[in-house]
Chain A
Amino acid sequence: MWLDISLVSIIFIGLVLLGSSRIGTIIRLFAFQSLILSSIPLQVGWTDLTWHVAAIVLGTLMVKVFVMPNFLFWAIRHVRMRREMPAILGYGKTMLLGGVLVGVAFYISSKLALPNPYFSHLFVPAAFSIFAIGLLLLVSRVKAITQVIGYLVMENGIFLFSMLLLDKTPFLVEMGILLDIFVAVLVMGLVINHMTEDYEDTNTFNLATLRD
């Protein structure tokens, strides 16, 4: 039951993310989502708590809940912006679309034939939904920083997937993924910084001027 509640609240936070406009709120929501996410390995593997599980929990907690949100906060302080431009579709419609995507994700995963009995009915659909929500966030927002968060939310979905193979994935691969996204976010942070210098704005539509 607690696992179900965590999974539903992860989707719930994702949907709220789609509807929020303040960048500070978005970052905090992301941190909160990651916090719940990092507790999931504990809930799944509580009975035989290995060093492996503990390391994953601590790693995610460190990177996603503390380091990255702080880094993002630093970035927005640096470029002095607080509010997202209106989403391309409008917040209400983006949220509705998010709801529809979640429905589609649930429908698809109910049709998937997954081999092993996993921990909860909601596991795969939740992973799919988070992935879809991240994608939608990436597509529908204008500022670079919200797109970074979209990317991170998407990664949260993938993390949830990898949880299914918790005891089979080598430790090194997981740490590698974490490092990957960390570097990606760092790069994005630098891009945002340079965008502010060149265009005095972080609107990604400005990047369209870079084409031939």
Chain B
Amino acid sequence: MFSVILHVSFALFFSPLLLGVVAKTKAFFAGRWGPPLLQPWYDIVKLFRKGSVYSTTTTWVFKLTPVAVLATALLSCIFIPLGTLAPPVYFWGDALFFVYLYGLMRFFLIIGAWDTGSSFEGMGASREAAFSCLSEIILFMDLILLVMVSKSLVLCNMLNTSFFSSWASMGPVLILVVISFFLVLLVENARIPIDDPNTHLELTMVHEVMVLDHSGFDLGLILWGSAVKFFVLGSILISLFIPRHESFMAGMVFFMVGMALLALTVGVVESIMARLRLNSVPHLLTGGFVLALLGFIVILLKGM
């Protein structure tokens, strides 16, 4: 129980920082100093002290949504290693549980958007559902590849440090995995080539518009949940790179530096790329799928 609490609070504490790094990088590229690293934290705390406005159209579903979002995001972090912290819960097939947990989160976000009866939120929900359908198959293809490399469907076995040694033999495949997983990370967290996290104009109405009607405490929960989701998916990606190490601190340092680098990369991608037109997002996702498929073909040829 203690390790669960430790894991959850680790994710809760560090996840807003990650967003801070992304914002700082973007500001740097724009030639500004940017908000302080702790700004996402200040935002959440501020929202927790604000009152809420509820639409007369909404029912309890709308109020359940923020709770469900944060709870599923937090639960998802207990299956993956965070640096040297081993996951407190693991079982055969927890990778599937992990993916479907995000399905649960998305289900509640979408019906929360439906509940407001607003056409804008419906639009965002529709796009989010369609894009995540496609990103989910990339995620599963990556999962298949990782399973074939590590011969296990337990997330902590797939992501532990002995995995690093398979880079020597499976390098090409793992590069493909990393690229397509990075794409999934961008889609799932509504980052720039797919969606702009800063606006909810009609043209970019994907993820952000779905939470348009949430306010105050509820919005805080949702923002925190999204941050945790980013953190968790990012730490999966980083875990693939952590080399074998001896001490507790070394692992932690590797992990932290890796996460910071990841946030930096996301910030750079956001700064140098333009958001894609909506109808070319499926093309991008198809491309990601084909990459993962290429990895599958290569791994079949090389033998497992």
Q: Do chains A and B touch in the complex (CB under 8 A)?
A: yes
Binding site for B on A (CB under 8 A): 1, 4-5, 7-9, 11-12, 15-16, 19, 91-93, 95-96, 98-99, 102-103, 106, 110, 121-122, 125
* Selected A-B contacts with CB under 8 Å, 6 pairs: A12-B294, A95-B286, A96-B290, A99-B290, A102-B294, A106-B297
Given A5-B171, A8-B176, A102-B294, the answer on whether A95 and B301 have CB atoms closer than 8 Å is no
Whether A106 lies near B301 (C-beta < 8 A) is: yes
Chain A minimum-CB-distance residue to B172:
A8
A residues within 8 A CB of B289?
Answer: 96, 99
CB distance from A153 to the nearest CB of B (A): 16
Q: Provide the bound-state CA to CA distance between A99 and B287, in Å.
A: 9
CB distance from B8 to the nearest CB of A (A): 38
- In the complex the two chains form, is A106's CB within 8 Å of B300's CB? yes
Determine the chain A residues whose CB is within 8 A of the CB of B282 once the complex forms: 92
With A15-B287, A95-B287, A102-B293 known, 8 other A-B pairs at CB within 8 A are A5-B175, A8-B176, A15-B291, A91-B283, A91-B286, A92-B283, A93-B286, A106-B298
Once A121-B301, A125-B301 are accepted as A-B contacts, the answer to whether A95 and B168 lie under 8 Å apart by CB is: no
B175 and A19 form a contact (CB under 8 A): no
Asked whether B297 lies within 8 Å of A12 as measured between CB atoms, the reply is no
Please list the residues of chain B having a beta carbon within 8 angstroms of any beta carbon in chain A: 168-169, 171-173, 175-176, 280, 282-283, 286-287, 289-291, 293-294, 297-298, 300-302
A99 to chain B, nearest CB (A): 4
Chain B contacts of A106 at CB under 8 A? 297-298, 300-301
Number of A-B contacts (CB under 8 A): 66
Complex Cα gap A4–B173 (Å): 9
- B287 touches which of A7, A8, A16, A121 (Cβ 8 Å): A16
A1–B283 touching, CB < 8 Å: no
- Verify A103–B172 contact, CB threshold 8 A: no
Residues of chain A lying within 8 A (CB to CB) of residue B175: 5, 8-9
A125: B residues at CB distance < 8 A:
301
Tell me which of A12, A103, A121 contacts B291 (CB under 8 A): A12
Please give, as numbers and ranges, the residues of chain A lying within 8 Å of B297 by CB-CB distance: 102-103, 106
Residue in chain B with minimal CB distance to A100: B293
**Which residue of chain A has its CB nearest to the CB of B171?**
A1
Kindly provide the distance from the CB of A157 to the nearest chain B CB, expressed in whole angstroms. 16
A93 to B80 CA separation, bound complex (whole angstroms)? 35
